[in-house]
Each structure stands twice: as structure tokens, then as C-alpha cells.
Structure 1
Amino acid sequence: MRSGNMALTTKCILLFSLLTGGLMSDSKSDKEVRHDVSVQDVVFVIRNQEHPFHLKRARLLKADIEQQCRVLGLEKPKIVLLTEKYGESGHWVIFPLLPKLGEHYGKPKYKWIFFCEEETRVKIPGLLNVLRRYDPSEFWFLGKELRDQAPSIIHHYRFHNDPSVFAFPDFEAGWLLSVPLLQVLSDRWKTGDHHMDFTIDLKHEIAFFIWDDGKGVKLTHVQELCSGNIGSNDPPSNDDDVAKAKMEKESKDAEMRRRRNKGKEKAECVTTYPIDMMECGPAVSKKNLYFAVKTCEKFHKDRVPVVKNTWAQYVKHIQYFSETEDKTIPTVVTGIPNTERGHCGKTFFIFDHFLNDAWLKHIPWLIITDDDTILSVSRLQRVLSCYDPETPVYLGERYGFGHTKHGWGYDYITGGGGMVFSRSAVQEMISNGCQCRSNADPDDMIIGACVKRIGQVITHSPLFHQARPADYVPAFLQHQTPVSFHKHSNGDPYQVYKDWFQVDDEKGDLVLDLQDDDNDDDGESNDLAQSKTEDKGSEEAEETVVTVRTDKHTEL
């Protein structure tokens, strides 16, 4: 029995050595100073979300890390899911958690904190091998670097003379702090004076805080941390033998690549992040999506036509909400004066309309957009396959406000990229007294504060974007399948739609519409809308709901 255990241990050591490249004695890395590190020295922090779908994905990542360690004969790793360990809102912002992370995982027990996203996958032996290059007693901030190519509004136009001088980490590739640096950051946050502020692009804001106006630590680029380097994550295996065979195959493949690329300094990725969009089943039918576009009179002639001639061609149910009647669109008149900022009154008018208008009551999803939002209907249909409209869902690009201490502040869906609500979510807000203080209140922030007050959560999708494509690092967008962008300024919105969304929407219009036709056994939505206009026969009804049939879509 003892000899059997020794044989098993020997096999694990050999596999571990292969996976880390430990047998490549002539490689450049073997001539460097190596620092001792084991899986017990690393805390794996998964920056997950509370929604059941996202929690399940995070637990799959945790199981994958644990399985790797079992197969390799390593100790059980320390893995933290933020929502399970720190349930209060704002945990995703990291800043208010720094004191707790420093207290719970500071030295001397640990050396490194590895942060990653739910869909990040990490090869444990490879990661440990990378970390051996860095002295864990020093201050290290490691990651895959991103650099702005132009000043960006989402980064507050920092480093506007040359934004490329500042590097910040791609969270999806994973990033690391040495524990000594974590302790310093923890102390700085505990003793610092933090004013209530917005969290917009956390990866840039984290790097800016750590840099500390040049007095702190810059990001060190690690080429083995990768993202967008696989199509999709493989389904997990519950069989350790199957997992072991897969790891052995990967190690042999990596060894062959090392031999082919000898002398070319090509690194093997130790982390992956998929480029493909996550889909959980059939795409949501177009008949189950209702789009409400917020507009106003001054944009009826320039912005609304862009919507109509791009993504609105591929929807079944859409209306345009304005303070002014315009039969050429046609608009739904809200009776609420237009405001330059906020639009809370208009948004809550849409909520009331969605809940109480008879022909809308069978539609489970509400999508509220601006009149300069550019999106892909097909991609949105696929994203929503992972969510249940019978439960409260508040989905979009998440921003934060006031997260200066753990549990303080609230999250909100920034409106420009599109806000998605299940019918259940809208019912929860209205039945619990959510309302505007004035028509000019910022609708997205009022909704976010209300969602926290009623004990529910905002769900973030990195595929929704508040800004233009030009405001994001190209390398970051290249490993995404975006759902939306926002704003027409300094660019051609038609070209943005053509470059990013048109092909998918045209393809989806052919494939998904056939599915809709097969499953559409009642035709209720179009018939209800048309009969509503015909039965009332009044000028008021004609102003409110007009059915315009085309070969591709129905506008209401």
C-alpha cells in the first residue's frame, strides 16, 4: 500500500513538473532567481455576483481550482467568493474590502492575492511557476496590461496628454497583489479621507489608487496572464481521472509548443477568458422583448432615424417616448416636460405604461434605451437566455456610487448602454414605492438606490457599454462580444452599428425569426396592438399606438 502511495505521489510530481515547465532546464526562466511558493501561499478571490446564474458560474470556477489541486496532490486551496464572504453591497468595488482582506489574508500566512472573474480559468501549476519569478516580500501589482490609446471619458480624461503612459489590469485575465502591498493599501484606505464618488471603470480606478500619484506601485505586465484566448469554457468534469487526462494532454501540447517556439520567447498562458458570449439555452424570442426609447423633440429628426434604420429593424415591439407628439415616428406623449439631465419622470412613465397597458401585459422583458444607444438585438436575445423573467432581474452595465465603506453606497445600471428589467423587477419597484423626487432626477441612480432599499441586487454585464467604442482600449473590446454602445458624438453611429452589430442582427433575423414563427401560436402582441387602435377609433388611440408593418419588424 505504501509503495502504491509513493507511485501515485511520483506521478503527481511528474505531472506537476510537466505543467510548470519544470523539466525545461535550458529555458531562460530557469536561470532567474526563483522564489518558493505553493498553492497554500495564494488566496484566490473570485469577484462574483449574487444572481443565482452568476453564483453558479463562480462555484464552477472554485470547483475547477479545487479539482486541479486534488489531481496534482496539492493542498486544498483558499478560495473566496466575494458574495459569500462579504455579502453587503459594494464588495465588487474592492476598495471598501481592502481593510478586511488585509485583516483576513495578510502576512505571515499568505504571500499572494489572486483576483479573477467568474469566467476566468487558471492553470494552477503555471500560475505558481509564474509567481516564482517575483519576491513575495516586495510590493508587486501584477496583471495583463491595458493602455488607453486616446483620452477617455470613462477614465475621467486622466493622462490626457498621453494616456498610453498609464497601465491598468485586464481583470478578466486575473491580477495579483503581493500581501505586503495589500497591507499598505489596506492601511491607506482605513486612514484615508474618502469623499462620496462614482465607480465607473474599476480596473482603471484600482490601478490609479495603487499608483498613488507616482508615490505607489505601477502595474507589472505578466504576459502569461491572458484573456480572449479561448472560444468558451469547457464544461467541468466530476471525474478526477478525466480531469487528470485532460491536464496531461494540455501539458504535452504545451511541451510541443515550447519546443517549436524555442528561442522565440513565446509565453504559455496560465489564465484564460472566453471570447464567446455565454448562452444558457434558446435565445429569448423577440415577441418577449419590449423596447422603450427615451427621446425628445430636438432629437426626433437626427437620433430617432438612426435607431429606426439600425437595430430597430430587428425588433417586434418598440415605442418612442417624448414630451412632444410626432406622428411620423410615432411618439408616445408622456406629458412630462423634457429635462436636460435625469429623465426620471419619463422612465417611471414607461414603467407605468409597461405594467398597465393591456397589450403589453404578456411581455416579460422591458428594455429602456436612450435615443443614441446602439445595440444588437440578436446578442441581447442570447444574453437573456441565462435569466428568468419570473424573478426580479435588473441587468446592464453596473456603476457604483458612495462605496467608501463596506455596505455603504449603492449600485445602479448606467442608462446609456441600455437598462433591462424583467416584469417581476418592475412590479417589485413600483409596489415598494420607488418613485422620483422630481422629473429631472437621474433615473438610473434613483432606480439603483431603490433596488438596494428593497433588498434586491443589480446584475452587471460587461457586454453593455455606456460610452463609444473609441472610449475603450481596443485590446479589451477584442475579447468581448459587445451588446451595446452609447453616444453619437465624434463618430458615425451607422458605422458603429455596421462594424459591431449588423452581421449578428442580420443572421439572427433569419434564424431566430424562424424559431419565433414556429413557436408563435397566438400572434397576440401584434393583434392586440392593432385591435387597440381599431376598436377605440379615436384620435387619442391613433396618437398613442400605431402599427406599421414591414417585412422585418412591427413598430408599435
Structure 2
Amino acid sequence: MFLKLRILVTLIFFSISSIIALEPSDLVFIILSQEESYNAAQAQLLETDLIKQSSVLDKVPHKIILTHDLDVFGSWTIVPLIPYLASINVTAQWYVFCTENTVVRLSKLLKALGQYDVDIYRNLWVGHSLYDKEPTIIHHFAEHSKKFKYPNLQSGFAISKHLFNSLVKKAGDGTVNSIDFSVDVSYEFSKFVFNESKSARLTHLPAFCIVATEDCATYPRPFYPCDKLSAKQNVYVAVKTCTKFHKERLDIIRKLWIRHAEHAGFFTDQLDENLRDGIVVPKTDQGHCAKTFAILKYVAPILDERKLDWLLIVDDDTILSLSRLFQLLTCYNPENSVAIGERYGYRATKIHGYDYLTGGAGVVLSTALVHKIIKPGVCNCPVETTPDDMFLFGVCLAHLGVKVTNSPLFHQARPSDYAEAYLASQEPISFHKFWMIEPEEVYEQWFEDADLVMFSKNKARKRIEL
């Protein structure tokens, strides 16, 4: 009798929890937006679409917050947003975090989240879960198994009200401020939730998708160029190298991707038989600030003389697709001070912290910004061996009032260092490091087809013009 009663109670419990009717007003959307005009416009389009979807449902619109409008240090790391939202009395059944390129189907999202009664499932957060197959450098080689999951940020994730409220005090008590480096915000936020709650683990919810299907409530919107590409390339590619890597690395990138660049230079400490046409810059064994600053000064007049809009600085073990990079740049105005790449943070949630672009993933600077950086006395390296990306593409840009623009298509590490599902949702622009991989295979798998299509068309067009 007791067993039958228990089964009946369980069935009633699940039937009740499966019919929770959520309204748009039960959700708060936090869009992790950026200031650069293209990125801000994407976030505003998402906001407009969510409001439109609410009106179609004839329901009260939900609260929508664009984080680039807020004065919150390190808002992109998510944790600082929790006490901020609590401080302005933003309340909801669910807090939905997403990026500017997340597509949201509101009715399907309400249905998916309506499976859960947040007063019963009190320690719940949901999304498309990712995991590491093996320890990876971007997660500090942490020994996590498949049991430790973190959300695919571009698919969005949702935190129930009770879990959110339990994190408010923890997020505001200085715990997060003890973290020096922010690298992978999704993974680091998942660690924060796990450590500061009662071991709350992300629940995988299939409605949060990697690629679009009919049943998806959310999914990452693929990137589309904003304009047609000109037959004339408008980017100068600067490759940082040194004598010991001339033979080992330059032959590889010459064969793979840099052959497609019309404007390029190899910047090294010394010329030899493996590099006779390079440009000699100061030798630095670490940090490379003086080396990179010399590259900026050397290239600046070339950008003007050739009327080029952009400078791309890469390492000699960066693997990338120039065609995809050129397409991305159609969405940005080179007359502005623009810096694009993969964003990391150093004490990003503190008033004296800063964001910076990682060098290995590739850093793109507008010509206008290059000229600002090299002005005398503005961004001189403290010492020759200061980390170039942290200073020139972090501290210096902050001093100039320029916020870095993060693109998830740039990658500081190898493909094997990222979750397979994460990479399946995008068409990457770059990877970094030749360590324990075959760079030719990486280029062939991820970039070759895109480059061949674009650059073969360009060659054909030029022949016709001639």
C-alpha cells in the first residue's frame, strides 16, 4: 500500500511539474553585449525580436538587459552581474543569459523551462552542456571528468530564482575578485556555481541547441558577412617569429595560409637562409612588448601608403583562415578605433583590472588605432619584456579608452583543447600552437575549403579584369 501511494505521489509530482505555465514576464534576459557598433546592433536586434515575440503571444514583455549599457566591471565574466541585478531589484522565475548572436524562440523556451517548478527544483540551472575529454590548457589542465559540465554560452543558459538568490551574496563577497585571469567565462562561471552553491551542476536541456533544428528554443546564429568583399585586400599581416623557428614553422604557414595574403611581412630578430626577406626588430626572449611595438611603428606608414584599413598580428604558429577574417571585417568600420580578437581578462572585475586580446589567436587593429598606439609617450612599453598582449592590447587600449571586441571565432589554443560541440556551432577563424598536432591537418580540416573558394574566385576575377 505504501509503495502504491509513493508511486502515485511521484506521478502527481511529475505531472504538476510538467504543466507549469510560464509567462514572458517570468523571465529576465541578460544579453552579454559589447560596445562596438556591429556587436551592439546585433544585441539590439535580439532585444527587438524578443519584444516582438512577446507581443505576438499577447503577453507582458519580459525584462531585457544589455550589459554594454551597464557600469559593471567585468560584466562579461557574468559573476559581477548577479549582485548588480539583485541591487536593482530585478526578479524573475528564471534568469536567462545569452550572447548577442543567440537566437531565441520565446514560446519554445517558455515550454522548455516550464518543465520545471522552480520552487521544487531549487538548485537548478540549464543549458547545452559541454565537457572536456581531457585536461586542457584553457581550463588550466584541471582534472575534471565528463561529470563536470559547463554551458555553451552562444546557446544561452537559464538559472532558476532560488539558485540565483543563493549566489547573490557569494558573488558580491569578494570571492570572484581573487581570480587573476579570466579565460573561458563559461567554464569559470560553472566552477563558481558549483563551488559556491550546494554543488549545483548544469543540467543539459536539449532545447538549448548547438545547431538549429525545429525543436530548438535557442541556438547560435551563424555569422554572415555584412558586405561583399573587394577584390583588393585591405589587411596587412604581420607574423612574429625568431631565428630558431624560421625553418620549423615558417615553411608550414607559407604553404598553408599566408600564401593568400597580398600584404605581409615576417618580423624576426635575425635574417638567415630560411628567411632572407624578413624585417629585423628588437630581440626579446619573453614578453615581446618592444618587438611588437616596433612592428606597429614599422607597419603604420605602410598602412597609409598602401591605403590599407587593418593590421593583423599573429604568431608564427597561428593557423587561420584569411577568407573568414576578411568576411568578419566587413562588419566593422576601420575609421573607428577597433581591436578584435579573443578576449581574456586580468583582474577584470576590479577597478584597476583590464581586458586584453591574446596574441596567439591573432589580433586585428584598425589603422586608425595603430596610429593612436604609436604616438610618442602614449603606450611605450614599461620594459622590453613586458607581455605584449597584456600591455599593448590591454593596458594601452584601456588608457586610450578603447574597449576590446571579443570574437568567439578566434582561438588561443588548438582544436583539441575545445569541446567538440562548441566548435560544431561555428566556423572558426584561428587556432594557435603546433604542439602535438599536425598543423597541415588542422588547416585542411577547418580552413582550406573556405580559403580555396574565396581566393580562387578572386584570382578568376582579376584575370577577367586584366
Q: What SS class does the counterpart of residue 391 from structure 1 fall into?
A: coil
Which residue of structure 1 lines up, in the alignment, with residue 156 of structure 2?
174
Q: What SS class does the counterpart of residue 287 from structure 1 fall into?
A: coil
Deviations 1:346-403 (A, max 9, x none): 1101110111348755222110000000001111111111011111110011111102
1:284 and 1:382 in contact (8 A); partners too: no
Which residue of structure 1 lines up, in the alignment, with residue 407 of structure 2?
461
Shift of 1:477: 0.5
Find out whether 1:397 has 2:342 as its counterpart.
Answer: yes
| Structure of higher CA gyration radius | 1
Q: Which amino acid aligns with 1:385?
A: T
Shift of 1:273: 1.8
Which residue of structure 1 lines up, in the alignment, with residue 10 of structure 2?
none
CA distance in 2, matches of 1:306, 1:46: 40
Which residue of structure 1 lines up, in the alignment, with residue 43 of structure 2?
58
Unaligned runs of 5+ in 2: 1-12
Which residue of structure 1 lines up, in the alignment, with residue 96 of structure 2?
114
CA distance in 1, matches of 2:463, 2:304: 19
Deviations 1:29-57 (A, max 9, x none): 86754334321121111111100111111
Which residue of structure 2 lines up, in the alignment, with residue 525 of structure 1?
none
Which residue of structure 2 lines up, in the alignment, with residue 411 of structure 1?
355
> Counterparts of 1:158-173 in structure 2 under 5 Å?
158-159=142-143, 163-173=145-155
Shift of 1:216: 2.6
Shift of 1:332: 3.3
Shift of 1:411: 0.9
Find out whether 1:129 has 2:111 as its counterpart.
Answer: yes
Deviations 1:106-162 (A, max 9, x none): 5xx4221101111111121211112222222312111110111121110111125xx
Find out whether 1:471 has 2:417 as its counterpart.
Answer: yes
Which residue of structure 2 lines up, in the alignment, with residue 507 of structure 1?
453
> Counterparts of 1:228-247 in structure 2 under 5 Å?
228-229=211-212
Shift of 1:88: 4.8
- The alignment's TM-score, normalised by the length of structure 1, stands at 0.77
Q: Which amino acid aligns with 1:141?
A: W
Q: What SS class does the counterpart of residue 165 from structure 1 fall into?
A: coil
Deviations 1:408-438 (A, max 9, x none): 5211110101110110111122237112111
CA distance in 2, matches of 1:116, 1:207: 15
1:376 and 1:505 in contact (8 A); partners too: yes
Q: Pick the aligned partner of 2:86 from 102, 125, 149.
A: 102
CA distance in 1, matches of 2:45, 2:460: 34
Unaligned runs of 5+ in 1: 1-27, 231-253, 255-267, 521-556
Shift of 1:105: 4.3
Find out whether 1:92 has 2:76 as its counterpart.
Answer: yes
Find out whether 1:332 has 2:278 as its counterpart.
Answer: yes
2:210 and 2:421 in contact (8 A); partners too: no
CA distance in 1, matches of 2:247, 2:454: 28
Alpha carbon RMSD of aligned pairs, Å?
Answer: 2.2
Deviations 1:261-320 (A, max 9, x none): xxxxxxx2111223x332100125553111110000110110111111100111111111
CA distance in 2, matches of 1:195, 1:360: 47
Find out whether 1:68 has 2:53 as its counterpart.
Answer: yes
Find out whether 1:40 has 2:25 as its counterpart.
Answer: yes
2:341 and 2:410 in contact (8 A); partners too: yes
CA distance in 2, matches of 1:334, 1:97: 46
Find out whether 1:323 has 2:306 as its counterpart.
Answer: no
CA distance in 1, matches of 2:17, 2:78: 33
CA distance in 1, matches of 2:463, 2:36: 32
- Number of residue pairs matched? 449
Same amino acid, percent of matched pairs:
36
Q: Pick the aligned partner of 1:486 from 417, 432, 435.
A: 432
Q: What SS class does the counterpart of residue 76 from structure 1 fall into?
A: coil
CA distance in 2, matches of 1:104, 1:36: 26
CA distance in 2, matches of 1:512, 1:54: 28
2:238 and 2:313 in contact (8 A); partners too: yes
